[in-house]
Amino acid sequence: VIRCRAAVAWAPGKLSVEEVEVAPPKAGEVRIKIVATGICHTDEHGLKGSLPNMEFPFIPGHEGAGIVESIGEGVTAVKPGDKVIPLCIPQCGECSFCRNPESNFCQKSHFSEPQNLLPDKTSRFSCKGKQIHHFLWVSTFAEYTVVPEYTVAKIDAAAPLDKVCLFGCGFSTGYGAAINTAKVKPGSTCAVFGLGGVGLSIVMGCKAAGASRIIAVDINKDKFTKAKELGATDCINPRDFQKPIQEVLTEMTGQGVDYSFEAIGNKDTMIAALASCNMSTGVCVMVGVLDSGSEISIDPTLLLIGRTWKGSALGGIVLKEAL
């Protein structure tokens, strides 16, 4: 058993750094020393208790990189000393989704069944004599974590862990939304709602795909400089206009953008993003996460003529193969 520090969410909005005990891996499991972790808004959803199937107390974090400390019986994919990225979307390789080459989802993912405990329905974390739940089987806000073998991707030994940890969610989610989910075409026009880490990664993906115009949308003008450095051709603040932002975008482009992306997780901006792409062949990709149980009301004529509205989980990337 390893004693180390971890951020423990005891209840909604109650997070504290504690000394925790991390049990050794059982058969088919891997214990990882977490070297670097990012902070994603999905962690905030978990802390608020607004993700489905959540159980407190738990250790958040799902975007990290580290080094394999030990392995359980039967593990062959990695060995102690390997650099790895734990995967917030598992890849069991056996379910119908994993076997579908067009899918990057897995039926063992949290949206299908809870990942609060490891597959044997027990936890490897404890604190002050209490069982602590896992988060998406990753829990990177701990100095050590234990995950199933099929949620680990081995990476190059030379990879800088403080940078590649972002492949665990933020960068992959945004970049992949443009390249894999939307399949942005050269010469096209794009609009990106929200310029956090995911939104900026979408901008990078649109640029790499050859988009001729990338319009970045955010109410924080301080983000515009970085957005332009990464490929945005225009940056606009909805608060600078007296009309809905979808009307502004339609006027800027003549008929609406070819591709729009919502990377905030807000009902109003999701509808605006859908309405901002052209009514015939426009594609809108939902990347942001709404609170569990949320509902969106839209005018069905937005889709009747031909718009496509899609969701994207982890950018449609199978990280175990991509890394």
Tell me the average pLDDT across 261-283: 96
Alpha carbon 79 to chain centroid distance?
Answer: 26
Q: What is the mean pLDDT of residues 298-315?
A: 94
Please tell me the distance from the alpha carbon of residue 12 to that of residue 269, in angstroms, as a whole number.
26
Segment 44-81, tens digit of pLDDT? 989 998 888 889 999 999 999 999 999 999 999 999 99
Spatial distance between the Cα atoms of 9 and 298, rounded to a whole number of angstroms: 35
**pLDDT of 111:** 83
Question: Which whole-number Å values give the CA distances from 264 to 30, 167, 240, 282, 315, in the listed order?
Answer: 33, 19, 19, 20, 15
Contacts of 70 (CB under 8 A, 6+ apart): 24, 25, 30, 31, 80
Question: Does 293 have pLDDT greater than 90?
Answer: no
Set out the domains of the chain in order of their start, with CATH numbers: 2-168 (3.90.180.10), 174-313 (3.40.50.720)
Res. 112 pLDDT band, cuts 50 70 90: confident
Query: What confidence tens digit (pLDDT) does each residue in 79-89 have?
Result: 999 999 999 99
pTM equals: 0.94
Q: Which two tokens stand for residue 272?
A: 């605006």
Query: Measuring CA to CA, how many Å separate 56 from each of 101, 112, 123, 285, 293?
Result: 35, 19, 12, 31, 19
Band (pLDDT 50/70/90 cuts) for residue 41 is: confident
